[in-house]
Amino acid sequence: MGAKDRQEHTPAYLPTGELVYVVDRKDKKEMNLVLRRSSAAPLVSSDAPIIAIAIAPDGSRIAWATSRTLEKNRTETALLWRTLPTGPDTPVQLLPGERVASPSF
């Protein structure tokens, strides 16, 4: 897959100094991912574009925000988090109309 098929953005670092970043796929058949530089196994997979990520200062958790456009130009946003390395995705309940631009710990 070439660079034209994906966009890499939102770099962050684990406490170990390891680079983590978002890979948004242009081919909607592929998942959007949060990857570690040293591993092919994704930390996060999402069918919605990932707009931002945050790593807990101790490296124990990751949070991410997604946003996608629905019909009639409505936007759906979501905020999720997970315990690293393999905890379940936990959604954060947002208020009606609330949007998240950048999660943090």
Parent domain of 26: 3-87
Domain assignment present for 93:
no
**Does residue 50 lie within any of the structural domains?**
yes
Residue 101 in domain: no
Based on the structure, what is the number of domains in the chain?
1
Judge whether 100 lies within some domain.
Answer: no
Position 92 in a domain: no
| Four-residue CA torsion sign, 11, 12, 17, 18 | negative
- The β-bridge partners of 53 are 64
Stated pTM of the model: 0.86
| Model pLDDT, residue 55 | 96
pLDDT given at position 98: 84
Rounded Cα distance, 28 and 47, in Å: 8
Does a structural domain hold residue 99?
no
The answer to whether 23 and 8 have CB atoms below 8 angstroms apart is yes
CA distance 76 to 82: 20
Whole-angstrom distance, CA of residue 69 vs CA of residue 67? 7
Question: Which segments of the chain have a pLDDT < 70?
Answer: 1-4, 28
Question: Residue 23's closest CA among 8, 40, 37, 3?
Answer: 8
